[in-house]
């Protein structure tokens, strides 16, 4: 394996505790701090790693469909067999339309050596117990696209199987488009359990075949991947959304046209360029190109907001994630029929004309189209 290291530390991959009787897979307290620094690219994967393997994609949704299509385009049909496992619903129908053989989840798992579990995170525990675990063959591999279930002890794989993490940092549809344009997309990868002795070979073979290694993959265990993912979406993500809604309301109340507000915040693409310059120039250096007024104003207001102690709130959020409190809360939300999630969905999928922000966006789009 020729993986580059992000720094000079070259510790071997540490042994992974088994789920049965031991700590939850990926438990982090006892893991070396330097784990999660290796960076893998296309040269680290054997293009024949999956030859002779039967692969099942369980779930044909936002990520399942792009991954299944990418795998089919990458793998030789003579060398690997690819099936989709799904409950009978519209996703199964789409998989058939796309030309896949669709089996029940149990049948697909039973007939596979490598099983990609691409179901909603909070659904996985019950499907795993009912349909996946009883059908797995010894020596098979299960692959997750998120560390959530492994991190918070929601499933307990037996020691006789490989447990792999392949967690993309790209929305499913973009993963397909970037694959088609040979651009790839980043992901975190880890071997959580190597029962077959070929877990890394399988994992990197899959990462190459779905298009990840064209961009690259960083090694990060499931626990840290899940903590990181939830932490950023529940702190930075939540505050970006709250800032946009608050600035819109305050600005419009003070007489700034709603169209100008959304143009300023994101419709003009200026903010996209700001994030792009974080990536290309660096977070601090990027601020210097906005001129002294923006730099001075941003600096003094940041100082003014510091007493809000966001750090304290962020630490509290992270603690609730790390102790598994958030995962328990989300599983309870599912059991209760998703009352909060339904409210969030109503907000995000409602008629744009029913929201002042939506109306302002529509009117800017109309303006831009007619220009
Ligand atoms: P999704 O919500 O699109 O999943 C839909 C699929 O789940 C369908 O095949 C449907 O038949 C099946 N399904 C739903 N409820 C079911 C149930 N009760 N029993 C059996 N099957 C059921 O899920 P998505 O977003 O594709 O996520 C899959 C995994 O990929 C998750 O672990 C997620 O964290 C991860 N992921 C998703 C990304 C995305 O772009 N959506 C990006 C990166 C990771």
Q: Is pLDDT at 24 greater than 80 in this prediction? A: no
Report the separation in Å between the CA atom of 170 and the middle of ligand 1, taken as the mean of its atom positions.
14
pLDDT at position 20 is: 28
Going by the DSSP 8-state scheme, the letter that residue 288 receives in this structure is G
Report the separation in Å between the CA atom of 293 and the middle of ligand 1, taken as the mean of its atom positions.
46
* Residue whose CB lies within 8 A of the most ligand 1 atoms, among 118, 165, 337, for a mutation test: 118
290/296: higher pLDDT? 296
Residue that has been written with the tokens 């809000």 in this structure: 308
Confidence of residue 193 (pLDDT cuts 50, 70, 90): very high
pLDDT at position 331 is: 97
pLDDT in tens, 38-77: 999 999 999 999 999 999 999 999 999 999 999 999 998 8
Enumerate domains of the chain plus CATH numbers: 4-220 (3.40.50.720), 231-369 (no CATH)
Q: Is pLDDT at 31 greater than 70 in this prediction? A: no
Cβ contacts of 292 within 8 Å, gap of 6 or more: none
Cβ proximity of 164 and 55 under 8 Å: no
Measured CA to CA, the distance from residue 29 to residue 69 in angstroms comes to 38
* Six token digits for residue 21: 């009787």
177/285: higher pLDDT? 177
Give the percent of the chain with pLDDT over 90: 82
At residue 107, the 3 state secondary structure works out as helix
Cβ proximity of 248 and 265 under 8 Å: yes
pTM: 0.89
Cβ proximity of 46 and 234 under 8 Å: no
Size (the chain), residues? 371
At residue 355, the 3 state secondary structure works out as coil
């Amino acid at each position: 394996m020729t993986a580059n290291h992000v720094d000079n530390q070259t510790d071997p991959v540490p042994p992974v505790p088994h789920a049965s009787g031991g700590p939850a897979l990926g438990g982090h307290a006892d893991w070396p701090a330097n784990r999660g620094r290796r960076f893998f690219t296309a040269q680290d994967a054997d293009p024949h790693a999956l030859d002779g393997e039967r692969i099942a994609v369980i779930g044909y949704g936002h990520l399942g469909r792009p991954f299944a299509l990418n795998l089919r385009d990458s793998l030789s049909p003579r060398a690997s067999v690819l099936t989709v496992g799904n409950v009978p619903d519209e996703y199964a129908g789409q998989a058939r339309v796309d030309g896949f053989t669709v089996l029940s989840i149990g049948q697909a798992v039973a007939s596979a050596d490598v099983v990609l579990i691409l179901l909603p995170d909070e659904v996985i525990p019950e499907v795993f117990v009912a349909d996946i675990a009883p059908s797995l063959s010894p020596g098979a591999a299960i692959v997750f696209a998120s560390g959530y279930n492994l991190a918070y002890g929601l499933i307990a794989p037996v020691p006789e199987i490989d447990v792999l993490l392949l967690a993309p940092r790209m929305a499913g549809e973009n993963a397909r488009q970037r694959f088609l344009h040979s651009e790839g997309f980043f992901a975190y990868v880890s071997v959580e359990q190597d029962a077959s002795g070929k877990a890394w070979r399988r994992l990197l073979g899959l990462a190459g075949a779905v298009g990840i290694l064209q961009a690259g993959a960083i090694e990060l265990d499931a626990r840290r991947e899940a903590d990181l993912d939830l932490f950023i979406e529940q702190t930075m993500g939540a505050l970006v959304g709250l800032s946009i809604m608050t600035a819109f309301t305050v600005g419009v109340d003070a007489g700034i046209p709603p169209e100008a507000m959304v143009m300023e915040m994101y419709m003009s693409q200026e903010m996209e360029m700001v994030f792009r310059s974080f990536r290309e120039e660096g977070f601090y250096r990027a601020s210097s190109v906005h001129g002294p007024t923006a730099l001075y104003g941003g600096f003094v207001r940041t100082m003014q907001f510091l007493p809000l102690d966001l750090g304290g709130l962020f630490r509290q959020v992270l603690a609730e994630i790390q102790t598994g409190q958030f995962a328990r809360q989300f599983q309870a939300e599912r059991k209760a029929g998703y009352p909060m999630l339904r409210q969030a969905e109503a907000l995000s999928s409602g008629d744009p004309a029913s929201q002042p922000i939506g109306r302002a966006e529509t009117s800017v789009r109309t303006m831009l189209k007619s220009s």
